[in-house]
Structure 1
Amino acid sequence: MPELLLGVDVGTSSAKAVVVNSSGRVLGEGQATYGLATPRPNWAEQEAEAWWNGLVGAVRKALEASRVRREEVATLAVSALYGGSGVPVDQNLRPLAPALIWMDRRAEEESAWVLEKVGLERLFAVTGNGADPYYGFTKLLWIRRHWPEVWAKARYFLPPGSFLVHRLTGEVAVDHVTAGNLGGIYDLGRRAWSESLAEVLGIPLERLPQRLIAPTEPAGRLGEEAAQTLGLSPGIPVFSAGIDAAVATLSAGAVGPGLHVAMLGTSMCWGFVSSELPKTPALVSMPYVLEPERLVYTFGGAATAGAAVAWFRSLLGEGTDLATLEEEAAGVPPESAGLVFLPYLMGERSPIWDPRARGVFAGLSLAHTRGHLYRAVLEGLAYALQHNLEAARQAGYRVEGE
């Protein structure tokens, strides 16, 4: 009997599932979409149940499309979006409030406080990262200050992958990739939680999963209830594969130092693999999916990439398809006749780290058409990618293909 693999990516806007055989041949795929809430400018929240329902829907569709028997699926691996604060859960691990996901930029004051209290030099030396509302630890500080009732009741703050692993297996664990991306309280050199920084910041480490695992280590085995819900056999190993961008980098073939990949989804992540500790806090660093004890994944990217495209399309009303926009943009010369778009629709991450940055169309004239505007949006995302490449070069990194 062939052993089939089931992979699931629970992203910002949808969950995708795929059934493959041991040779990598795709037998079936499925997708389930969901939304996020933006109750105020720069806020972005997501309910944990949306992740679970998305996973269930995508898995069922993939299994139906593959026409395989449940007994043939031998392994389940889950990657997930960067969930920022993670979802606060009570003693019974039931959600208390939504997660403040990676896109959320509300923790400005908390980030400034961290830089004053800890200092960038010490923070970078321990974590390999800086302080910005992007990082989950600053969002935890925001929750402590602004949602004291949630903070008091929270047993854990579970990243999306950890929440899903618990729902699937009953285990409480977090992979090193996800833990490293929290920043602030993860010691990248030691591959462990930083007791010293957690104490200074006032973040009790017992509120986070204490079991830190490699993505290649089973997080647990699929429970009876989850197996029945998904249509799988109970007892198969479940893996917490890590942050979606890092997993995408591995799936594209980046298996060693110097290799790099750009992933475009709701946001844009350009990342590369290194065997060295980080050289700059202008980029984001964490253990890699492959050999996490030795390799580091460093990335930079725009906060809104696919989100910028979706936003522009939404302005045009129903009936405007991407194929038409692509055709119109292709008919416009490079540089869009002097029109420039800055894709800072939710502030910006690396390398400028400015939660108050805003999107701009600069150079508009009566001569510009819809095609010019759409091409400028696409070029703006390309410029954002180039900006991060330049930041890496300035820090002394060399990547393959330069």
Structure 2
Amino acid sequence: MPNLQAPHVTLVDTRPRLHWAWIVAAVAFVALVGAAGFRAAPSVLIDPLHQEFGWSTATISAAVSVNLLLFGLISPFAAALMERLGMRRVVTWALLLISLGSGLTVFMTASWQLVLLWGVFVGVGAGSMALTFVATVTSRWFVKRQGLVSGVLTAASAAGQLVFLPLIAHLAADHGWRTASLVVSLAALAVVPLVAFLLRDNPADVGTTAYGADPDAPPPVSATSGRTALRAVTVLKQAAHDRTFWLLAAGFAICGASTNGLIGTHFVPAAHDHGMPSTTAAGLLALVGLFDVAGTIVSGWLTDKVDPKVLLGVYYSLRGASLLVLPHLFAATTEPPMWAFIIFYGLDWVATVPPTVALCRRAFGADGPIVFGWVFASHQIGAAVAAVGAGLTRDHHGSYDLAWYVAGGLCAVAAVMSLRIRLDSPDAR
């Protein structure tokens, strides 16, 4: 008698599943946005702090300078620490330190406390999850789309500026700078649970491989042996013998001077000097962040297709030209030429990061994230020098004009140095 029972059919779920790499990238983006909040605050809090405490622009800029300096110098050690302890632990503690530093500023009464909290606490916390965090995520979790992902994650800082800067400016104007600082502190704290529960250190932790990697390929070996500080210093000593490292570091120092140190710190007070309300100037700086998101993502996409050193040469040249004309654009109201500057400069703000990360990776291989940490340290040294230098220029000359012109000329130097980079690595192409 024939068997009339329906045959057993095994249904296979053919729906594509989201790769864990994209979850990690999304969490990293949010974490970087949270950390960016307090870094956006200095430019809109300079005037309120000056009015309440009577501190000079140079004094307040010194605290900003310490913040920028530590933000960079901590970076390579943070990259090595992420190798040893994991990204999740390092980023969690970094966010807590940022929250603590920004929150405690409401109790300060002296300028040294500003340097300690705004400079040291927030500088160390932000530096522990700076752009080396971007380099670590892309190196561990992505084989394909590295340039695009590094561009998107780099844009997170701009997104943080976009979200927080107008809010901080309005809170400082309507409710005082202390309220603004507390809001930033709570925002950084709110990101901690997301990082603790969803960020993963390596693909093997969730039983997968990096996005685009051969499933049969052995996982990359992380150099976790030895002390963290020794690891970072050893990589620096090795990289220091390579001409490419110095060209990248010098160019990136100028990059920091012409962005975080100058525009990021002094654009709002410079616009205010010409009669523009601080809230309006902060809105313009936030728009720089908006266009930077688009520019950096496009730059990441281009990095996968175009020679990175050529991209750097173009970016620095265009930035220098825009800074040379900026002193002539300030006014009490926002005119079309200033709108053009905001759009143009915003597209170029940190578009330099994806090609720089790519060059570090191609020239130094597995040590690329730590090497980029040292290159980024030079970025922040340049930013720190520019933050103080521009403040002193304003105090002694009554305007920022000289600072804009010097930065524009230095960008031309950075363009030439970038184009002189030659890669001997077998990965170079």
> Quick check: TM above 0.5?
no
Give the shorter-chain TM-score range.
Answer: under 0.3
TM-score (norm 1): 0.28
Structure showing the higher strand proportion among its residues: 1
Structure showing the higher helix proportion among its residues: 2
TM-score (norm 2): 0.27
Larger radius of gyration: 2
